[in-house]
Amino acid sequence: MSEIESAKLIYKILQGLNHIHNVSVVHRDLKPENLIVSDEGNPKIIDFGLSKDTITSTRMLKSFVGSKLYMAPEILEGIGHTHTCDMWSVGIILFLTLSGAYPFNLKNLDQEIKSAPIFFPDGMWSSISQLCKSFILSLLERDHIKRLTSSQALKHPWFKILDNPNNF
C-alpha cells in the first residue's frame, strides 16, 4: 500500500479509535482481522469482545488480552495498560501496510516487543517519508505514558500529506 493510501486508512482508523477512547472504551485487540474496509475505503473497527469500558475504573487494566503480534509491551509485562495500547496496535498495522512485514523478529516475539529497536531497512523503506517513520516510532513508543494518544495522533504532521484528511 502506498504511503498516501496508508495515511488515509490510518487516519480513519484513528478517528474511530478517538471516538471509542473519548467514551472510555479500550479495544485491546486491534489488528487487520478486526477491521472491515468498505468499497469506498472506509475502515470499520469490529469485534469488541475484548474491549473494556474504563469509565468506572480508576485503575490501569491488567488483563493479558489481545493478539500477541499487535500487543503492546505493557500488556506483555503485566504492568497495566490504558487506551494507548490501541495506539501501539495502530503502529504495527501501519508498519505492516507499508512494508508487508512486522517490525519484529517473530522467533523471539516477546523479547522483541519489549526491547528490540525498530528498524526501517533501506530497500523497502527508502520511498517512505521521515515524517511517516517518526509517526510510526511515536506509536511504537515502549513507554505507554509517552506514546501518542488517538487525539494527538490525528494532529501529527504526517497527515499533512493528505490535502484535507477530513474530506475523504
Cα 117 to its chain centre, rounded Å, is: 17
Q: What are the E-state strand segments in the chain? A: 25-26, 35-37, 43-45, 52-53
Q: Inter-axis angle of helices 3-22 and 84-99, to 10 degrees?
A: 170
Q: Which residues contact 86 (CB under 8 A, 6 or more apart)?
A: 17, 21, 26, 27, 28, 30, 150
Q: Which of 29, 47, 86, 163 is catalytic?
A: 29
Clarify whether 29 is annotated catalytic.
yes
DSSP 8-state symbol, 71: -
Query: Annotated catalytic sites, by residue?
Result: 29
